[in-house]
Structure 1
């Protein structure tokens, strides 16, 4: 009986071990038989692409400028004296020849009267000398007196005649000085600051002028070109010489200090003969009509030069990325792989870059989403029409 029990327990333990072994085998087989979960690659991003277009574009360059009237005159006294009257106010418009100042004339009128008196005395002396010559001439001819007395009389007549000429010159000088007491506008224009007021003592040696008079019916706008800009200026515009280029230059615009554009266009008419050794720049002048007097001497602004580019490669600015002082685009090549390509920019018009090289007409470039792209990455290109390209540019 005991032997039977021991055998039964032994068989039970053996069965339990067998069951556990079979379970482990089943688990192992199940683990080996189940396929491993493979990693799924993310789908290629869909990005808008478009062909590089060409067209005629106009770019603009702006240069700081100063404005001056065609004539800027310092009004100074030619004679000394007390300023009796000021006929104009600051900022007033005057016509050429209009009186603007009056210096006390009494000393100069007195000098004129003295000069006239000296002239009359000289004329009287000439008359007496002529009488003496007339008296002695027949006496010498009849040999009543020697010709020595006649020669002396004729010499006295010549001295009297010379004294008349000197007296006339003094009269003329006195008249000129008297005329200088009334100071008139040398040109038509606007009066500047009145540095001296009525009652002031003025003279030709004064450091400060009485005022400045500016003729601004036309204005000259001066700006400077550096050496590189000047070389580009000569290369970009047609003509063999600077004179020829000036004739063919397009009109230029003037931007005022508040950023608004002056209503009239100007013409570049003069390029300075040499560069400034201090600044390394050359001065250029443009002339603008100013019939309403809106521009005054001393104004500042900016000259805007336009340049037309024919068959220029056009790339939207939003399709570019700046990196290490260079500008790149992503071109789409075979198998829809993107490639980062540097481009050489020659100008900008609105939201478009004008490109010299780096891409060519017809190349496919990515328009947006380029901040997440990497070299060799595959995308799903969505070709855009010209209208959609414009919309993408506007959106960005």
Structure 2
């Protein structure tokens, strides 16, 4: 009986000890959970940029087509077979240089006939003049009737008219003969020559013999939409459109391979009205081309610069768009952020130039915008705009 009682007491103590241990463990676990639930999550650390003014230049680009300052279609003035081609495609020729020869034999014959007809009419004129000279004293002496003199004078006038007509015909024949040798009206580069020796050419031919381009200077034609044109008139100083065009700085030309043409150009003229079909108005810029690197038909983009003496510049990465508006998160008191719309007046590939919405000295969040909401508190990490400009230039 004593051993049984002792075993019972031992088991009871063991059970009570286990229960006590479970209570202690449960208490520690509960205490640890309460402590974890009471901790605040850490504030997000985000880079922040201080807004400042910079001197910078932005560009607006407009698609452009290049044409030679003079583009002349060389067309035959007479009909005939193409007898000789003196130049090759792409060659540079000077004014007055022979280009083509059309078979001139028929026109030489016409010229000979016209010259002979002129000689005959001149002989008749001399004969008529002699007749008038013979009859004039006879009429004064009443030897012959004045009717004979008047008839002779009429014949003289008719002979003079025939001579004038023969001279005109001879001149036309000479001109036609001269047209058989086609010369360059201006200096420039020869375009495509569609006809070959032996081809029948003439004034009614649809294709010209070639196109001659004077490309010492080239024109770049580009167009602005109505909105761009209104902004252009507002942005460029000047009382009239002519003054505004004169005040435009030199423009650049970006070629089809995105390279820059070495010479800068100048906008010269603008059309008098908008194109009703496209709603755009055309401008013309002139570029020097002494090396002949540009040819008619080249394409590219005209870059018009805008100089900003004191512009509020911010990275595009520091903005987001909502309902066609560009916004930033401005850091306010107690490091709370609030979204604010801005008005952009220009841009580069990496930066915006802000017209309204930000002031110098204000701070904006650079990255991590997708996690922010109005009123959120952040741990700002200052970031220098100069360091960004070194990594991503304007």
- TM-score, normalization by structure 2: 0.89
Q: Distance in 1 between matches of 2:14 and 2:145?
A: 183
Aligned counterpart, 1:269: 268
Report the counterpart of residue 339 of structure 1 in structure 2: 338
Structure 1 residues 95-133: Cα deviation after superposition (integer angstroms, max 9, x where no partner):
111110111111111111111111111111122222222
Deviation at 1:302, TM superposition (A): 0.7
The residue that corresponds to 2:147 in the other structure is: 148
Contact 2:50 2:385 in 1 (8 A): no
Q: Which residue in 1 is equivalent to 2:220?
A: 221
Please state whether the residue corresponding to 2:114 is helix, strand or coil. helix
Structure 2 counterpart of 1:243: 242
In 2, Cα distance between equivalents of 1:36 and 1:194: 93
CA deviations over 1:194-250 (Å, ceiling 9, x no partner): 121111111111111111111111000001111111111111111111100111100
Per the TM alignment, residue 17 of structure 1 is displaced from its structure 2 partner at its CA by 10
Segments of structure 2 that go 5 or more residues without pairing to the other structure are none
Q: Distance in 2 between matches of 1:110 and 1:263?
A: 55
Distance 1:277 1:224 in 2: 13
1:1-396 matches, cutoff 5 A = 35=31, 37=33, 38-39=35-36, 40-390=39-389, 394=392
Distance 1:394 1:74 in 2: 49
Give 1:390 deviation, angstroms: 4.1
SS, match of residue 161 in structure 1: helix
- Give the total of aligned pairs: 386
Tell me how far apart the structure 1 counterparts of residues 204 and 298 of structure 2 sit (CA, whole Å). 30
Q: CA deviation at 1:26?
A: 11
Report the Cα offset of residue 56 of structure 1. Answer: 2.2
2:286, 2:131 → 1: CA distance? Answer: 70
The Cα offsets for residues 240-277 of structure 1, whole Å up to 9 and x where unpaired, read as: 11100111100100001111000000000010011111
Deviates more, 1:135-144 or 1:69-78: 135-144
Distance across 1 between alignment mates of 2:18 and 2:144: 179
1:22 to partner: Cα distance = 12
CA distance in 2, matches of 1:24, 1:107: 133
Residues 1:382 and 1:284: Cα distance change in structure 2 (over 3 Å)? same
Find the residue that maps to 2:230 and give its secondary structure.
helix
The 8 Å contact of residues 57 and 349 in structure 1, kept in 2 or not, is answered as no
- What is the CA–CA distance in structure 2 between the aligned matches of 1:190 and 1:50, rounded to whole Å? 56
Select between 23-32 and 291-300 the one with higher mean Cα deviation.
23-32
Q: Please, which runs of 5 or more residues in structure 1 have no aligned partner?
A: none
The structure number with the bigger radius of gyration is 1
